[in-house]
Chain A
Amino acid sequence: DAGITQSPRHKVTETGTPVTLRCHQTENHRYMYWYRQDPGHGLRLIHYSYGVKDTDKGEVSDGYSVSRSKTEDFLLTLESATSSQTSVYFCAISERLIGPYYEQYFGPGTRLTVT
């Protein structure tokens, strides 16, 4: 258990509304990630963070922004939700295994439905 919580766990919203998902971790991990999981696509990286106020884009970042003002919180914002953003969103942290190698641990997920 890497001490990762996500909120909300479920959300239904309307097209065009802003939505913010929160990821909270309790173990001071430097690296945090947001993924989306869709049938046929597996897990795809949206954005990641390598420290407070240090973030970068993943492979499917269009329509999403992130912020990390504290080590423990990583926020994902959909500025204007679209139906194509209906998905399950997972937050993850990366923890050093040994030497240069890291392991990822995932939160429980947020199921977002955009109607």
Chain B
Amino acid sequence: TQLLEQSPQFLSIQEGENLTVYCNSSSVFSSLQWYRQEPGEGPVLLVTVVTGGEVKKLKRLTFQFGDARKDSSLHITAAQPGDTGLYLCAGARGSGTYKYIFGTGTRLKVLA
């Protein structure tokens, strides 16, 4: 059972455009993480959000955790070719938990 749905699955945009990736669930998560993965490498943690409604910014990336803690979004402003990769969200259920459920990912390609 896939509890975390990511959309879109694929996204190809021009350099300089803005984009938003979504991570949705019918389940409540205590925390949610976003990763970026490049070919042949492991996922690299970008951010962890733990409070409903929380917004975190990492340079041109803005992450938001939904008020109900069931969804999250990642917004990239002025995308660059270096942003190309697979973006994954992962949710933890229950406080103090150490198990995560991953979404299937959004594959982003930014064209120069």
Residues of A within 8 A of B (CB): 31, 35, 40-45, 48, 50, 58, 90, 92, 94, 97-109
Contact = CB atoms under 8 A, between A and B. Distances in A.
B80 to A, nearest CB: 23
B84 interface: no
Q: Helix, strand, loop or mixed for chain A's interface?
A: strand
Given A101-B30, A101-B31, A101-B50, A108 B42 contact: yes
A103 B104 contact: no
B48 A109 contact: no
Nearest to B47: A103
Contacts of B103: 42
12 contacts: A41-B104, A43-B88, A43-B102, A90-B43, A101-B30, A101-B31, A102-B92, A103-B45, A104-B45, A104-B100, A107-B42, A109-B42
Given A94-B98, A100-B95, A43 B48 contact: no
A34 B97 CA distance: 16
Contacts of A48: 98-99
Q: Is the interface of B mostly helix, strand, loop or mixed?
A: loop
A98 to B, nearest CB: 8
B73 to A, nearest CB: 18
Nearest to A39: B104
Contact of A43 (B30, B43, B44, B50): B43
A106 B43 contact: yes
A103 B90 CA distance: 10
B64 interface: no
Contacts of B82: none
A106 B95 contact: no
A100 B102 contact: no
Contact of B99 (A45, A100, A103, A109): A45
